Chain A
């Protein structure tokens, strides 16, 4: 592994490795949806979508869409044997009621306290929240997948979020383009980093202190065609 950083597909692949067989999983719209493509062989996760489907499958072929069969991103999906439909209140009972094993979400900023900002970049334009504020509560694990820094090089892992919060103290693990980091007791704890990245270099791209608690593993992923 000599890449400077992981591609989005590689970040999604790494997050998928931590999803156990039989897990009930919600993937946020956009980038997190990629995680579904990288389920390890022999494991079956059941995917939940907020609009009211459990155990949906990938997109149908163009022309075969059923527009009553969509995901939270309003993209057409398919059913699997064992799928279920339910109303919106039941769907969010699954979310808030602690019935999901994992929610994997995108982020603008994550704070060392586990605070997440991923719904608004400020007061301009039309505000829209969707299910973001619900999803951060109730899943047994709330993980984030993200670039380690913003497009203009600013840290996305910070001491305190400056953007509007989605939830307080909710994130438990962050998979970035450079590292895997747990949030534990109000601290970022480094679990894995790319082999070619020194701890100092990684710390310089991180907006809060990275703590070491035991061995730091190598963040290893397959090359994955783009």
Chain B
């Protein structure tokens, strides 16, 4: 078994127009910049993207939106230090937004990966974001029904990966990565360091390889924050 892909271009070549794509990261932390830029290079249209945010500046997710690849965004917080790319398109009606509370977004993705089609949460009960959703009472409290979230693809950044797809993550860059690998049909992961099986102690594996389909090595990956501070734009 070897899930290694030689190049970023090969890794994203399977993503076509209209696909649903989960993209890991919380702001810049854990954002798979190189995979996103490879997807821009490929040139796709009409994507539904799931991410916590809506991009910052003109690199990474913001650049994917700016390149016209994204038709719909499912996220919790479409604001950032420089949200101009998303904001302009949203206010012009050129991109659809599904706003989801952050914990609900995480749990919907987890549920998608865990085979749970719906669940009840106290979050958003009695608010505008619960409108149209079923409500039920359990043990005297009211809860809102939320549905699972799955995607065709996930683009995730991990720290160390082996050729079986076992992964570790760096610091707080873990965030949505393990959940999105589970919830997508094809999880495409960029790792800073690729190792042979056994190179990661089994006790240290965060995402087991069963959830990962493709691994591409990207040594010294870019950080969105560093790129933005340098005024970078992509392409």
Contact = CB atoms under 8 A, between A and B. Distances in A.
A134 B103 contact: yes
A168 B172 contact: no
A87 interface: yes
Nearest to B206: A87
Interface centre among B27, B97, B179 (most CB of A within 10 A): B27
Contacts of A69: 29, 171-172
B47 to A, nearest CB: 19
A129 interface: yes
A50 B174 contact: no
Nearest to B86: A126
Q: Nearest 10 pairs between A and B by C-beta?
A: A92-B103, A134-B103, A168-B126, A88-B106, A68-B171, A137-B122, A131-B102, A130-B77, A89-B110, A133-B101
A67 to B, nearest CB: 4
B127 A165 contact: yes
24 contacts: A51-B27, A51-B29, A67-B225, A68-B29, A68-B172, A69-B172, A74-B80, A85-B174, A87-B176, A88-B176, A89-B106, A89-B179, A92-B106, A92-B107, A115-B126, A126-B78, A127-B78, A127-B97, A128-B77, A129-B76, A130-B77, A131-B102, A133-B101, A134-B104
B99 A128 contact: yes
The residue among B103, B105, B128, B171 with the most chain A CB atoms within 10 A of its own CB is B103
Contacts of A115: 126
A70 B105 CA distance: 20
Interface in A130-147: 130-134, 137-138
Contacts of A88: 26, 52, 102-103, 105-106, 175-176, 179
Contacts of B30: 68
Contacts of A134: 101-104, 123
A96 B179 contact: no
B26 to A, nearest CB: 4
B234 interface: no
A217 to B, nearest CB: 33
Contacts of B80: 74
Contact of A126 (B76, B83, B173): B83
Size bracket, chain B contacts:
35 or more
Contact of B99 (A67, A129, A167): A129
Given A87-B175, A134-B104, 8 more contacts: A50-B103, A52-B175, A67-B224, A68-B30, A86-B174, A115-B126, A126-B97, A131-B103
Most chain B CB within a 10 A radius of its CB, from A51, A88, A126, A164? A88
A96 B29 contact: no
Interface string B215-235: 000000001111000000000
A51 B79 contact: no
B178 A167 contact: no
A50 to B, nearest CB: 6
Interface in A44-90: 49-53, 65-70, 74, 85-89
Contacts of A128: 76-79, 99
A39 interface: no
Nearest to B125: A168
A165 B130 CA distance: 11
Contacts of B81: 74
Contact of B126 (A130, A132, A167): A167
A133 B97 contact: no
